Chain A
Amino acid sequence: MATASAATQTMPVDDPIEQLYERGVTDGFPVVPPTRERVERMLAGAPDCARDELIGTLGPCYGEATVEKIAINAVMAGCKPEYFPVVLAGVEALCDERLCAHGLNVTLFSAAPWAIINGPVRLQIGLNCGHNALGHGFRANATIGRALRLVVMNIGGARPHELTKATMGQPGQYSALIAENEEDSPWEPFHVERGFREDESAITLFAGGSPQQISDFQSRNAEQLLASIGFTMGGGLWNYKNYPLFGDTILVLSPEHAHTIAASGWSQKDVRQFLYDTVKKSVDDLKPGKDGGEGFGANILRTFEKSGLVVDGYVRKFRSPDSLLVVVAGGTAGRFSVAIPGWVADDLGSTPVTKRIQVSY
């Protein structure tokens, strides 16, 4: 009968990976030990930044996100030095007051800071924009999002069972990153819509929940396809009675779906306008009733009427066309898209924030 060797029966007391677990600074997966040598290599990835430069402070504990502290967490996440400018820009967005990271990091809503990455940096550092774009298997995608999570934990001080109170949590809290498939998109890149040049690189952070996959195999033009996607979004985001959503929403269109829409001559702006105009519910259907206790009472519906949210007896799902962020990602085969509902927006919560990535290579 085989027995365990002596080597497998003892735990080395100076194992750095185990020590980091003991200190509570990991996301649950093992982290790369942040030795001085590794941190120096990471810092060299952003040679124009001084190590003591303060990028910002991050709630809920308002730790100071210096370049060096961010580099330590990027090492632990498994980033390569060439990813570091992306991580720095991501942390700059995290610390931007408009994102409301303090609330995002402690809310009951199971949020993640979803990162949308655009521009030449995607291909330069090997971000996967194609098949399995939102999934596993690619170091840049996995570790850049993970670095942001470790920064939130170790600089922001947000840990589950302490200040982070998300009821459910979600897998995107390990890493939530979308690199746009600009090469297979029929439209201009997302960051160009947000005011950047196509040859610039940018990262947008969005306070989002869990992605919902939406299939449509049969629609053959923009109107058919977006009616189908919109109907699914209308029912599935937050709750089928949540009209309007008080947050923004990302719609990640697969290249096949995007090309079907573009073949009808529609732009991203047309996509947003169509979904805004057509996804709506009658006021009567929003009241709590035999289809469930969720919904809006008469007093809330009266405030909707006063604030112009009720038009011809209907309330729209989306607050405005601009509350929809349309991105193209994923593989070129497959008629699947994804909707990501946002946490509450604007003065109630969070506004998506885009920062330029300062690439020096």
Chain B
Amino acid sequence: MAEEMLNPIGYGGKAEKPLAPRLSSLRGKTIALLDIGFPNSNVFLDRIETLLKDRYGVATIVRHAKPSPTRMAKPEVRQDILSRCHGVVEAVSS
């Protein structure tokens, strides 16, 4: 006989979320680069910016940064990326 047990889970739904739809092309798009704050991430992202523009025809790069690797991006940063960017590269280095 199964006992009635109370649910220990306190958050809604599963932690895993599906990936957003992929872009078919980067040409002419606006892409955000989110620097999460590890050492040399600016060096790494500078190179990514060049590659995205020169090799893939990205029209505009929007640069943002998290306050530190351990803290979430501020709401206004997330909102800016959502409102005017087609995609985002959240990147590290070391």
Contact B68 A63 (CB under 8 A): no
* Residue A34 at the chain B interface, CB threshold 8 Å: yes
* Residue A150 at the chain B interface, CB threshold 8 Å: yes
Which residues of chain B are within 8 angstroms of A16 by Cβ–Cβ distance? 2-3, 5
The answer to whether residues A69 and B71 also contact, given A14-B2, A61-B15 and a CB cut-off of 8 A, is no
A151 to B8 alpha-carbon distance, docked (Å): 8
A76 to B10 alpha-carbon distance, docked (Å): 14
Which residues of chain B are within 8 angstroms of A20 by Cβ–Cβ distance? 5
Contact B8 A154 (CB under 8 A): yes
* Interface core residue of B1, B4, B15, B67 (most chain A CB under 10 Å): B15
A156 to B12 alpha-carbon distance, docked (Å): 10
* Residue A36 at the chain B interface, CB threshold 8 Å: yes
Which residues of chain B are within 8 angstroms of A349 by Cβ–Cβ distance? 68, 70
* Residue A347 at the chain B interface, CB threshold 8 Å: yes
Tell me the count of chain A residues lying within 8 A, CB to CB, of chain B.
Answer: 44
Contact A36 B4 (CB under 8 A): yes
A102 to B3 alpha-carbon distance, docked (Å): 34
Contact B5 A347 (CB under 8 A): no
A151 nearest in chain B by CB position: B10
Tell me the count of chain B residues lying within 8 A, CB to CB, of chain A.
Answer: 21
Contact of B15 among A25, A157, A343 (CB under 8 A): A157
* Residue B28 at the chain A interface, CB threshold 8 Å: no
The answer to whether residues A63 and B10 also contact, given A103-B71, A157-B15 and a CB cut-off of 8 A, is yes
* Residue B82 at the chain A interface, CB threshold 8 Å: no
* Residue B57 at the chain A interface, CB threshold 8 Å: no
* Residue A263 at the chain B interface, CB threshold 8 Å: no
0 or 1 for each of B60-92: is its CB under 8 Å from A? (1 = yes): 000000011111100000000000000000000
Contact of B7 among A72, A107, A344 (CB under 8 A): A72
The answer to whether residues A348 and B15 also contact, given A16-B5, A25-B8, A155-B10 and a CB cut-off of 8 A, is no
* Residue B54 at the chain A interface, CB threshold 8 Å: no
Contact A162 B8 (CB under 8 A): no
* Residues A8-39 near B (CB distance < 8 A): 14, 16, 19-20, 25, 33-36, 39
Contact B16 A66 (CB under 8 A): no
Contact B9 A25 (CB under 8 A): yes
Q: Is the interface of B mostly helix, strand, loop or mixed?
A: loop
Contact of B11 among A61, A72, A100 (CB under 8 A): A61
Which residues of chain B are within 8 angstroms of A347 by Cβ–Cβ distance? 67-68, 71
* Residue B19 at the chain A interface, CB threshold 8 Å: no
Which residues of chain B are within 8 angstroms of A35 by Cβ–Cβ distance? 3-6
Contact B68 A69 (CB under 8 A): no
Which residues of chain B are within 8 angstroms of A39 by Cβ–Cβ distance? 6
A14 to B1 alpha-carbon distance, docked (Å): 6
Which residues of chain B are within 8 angstroms of A348 by Cβ–Cβ distance? 68-70
A156 to B11 alpha-carbon distance, docked (Å): 7
* Residue A117 at the chain B interface, CB threshold 8 Å: no
Which residues of chain B are within 8 angstroms of A61 by Cβ–Cβ distance? 11-12, 15
A159 to B15 alpha-carbon distance, docked (Å): 9
Which residues of chain B are within 8 angstroms of A33 by Cβ–Cβ distance? 3, 5
The answer to whether residues A72 and B8 also contact, given A157-B15, A348-B68, A348-B70 and a CB cut-off of 8 A, is yes
Which residues of chain A are within 8 angstroms of B39 by Cβ–Cβ distance? 300
Contact A344 B70 (CB under 8 A): yes
Which residues of chain A are within 8 angstroms of B71 by Cβ–Cβ distance? 100, 103, 347
Given contacts A69-B8, A154-B8, 7 further A-B contacts (CB under 8 A): A25-B8, A35-B4, A61-B12, A100-B71, A155-B8, A344-B69, A347-B68
Residues on B facing A (Cβ under 8 Å): 1-12, 15-16, 39, 67-72
- Counting from the closest, the 8 A-B pairs by CB-CB distance are A63-B11, A155-B10, A63-B10, A103-B70, A61-B11, A14-B2, A349-B70, A154-B8
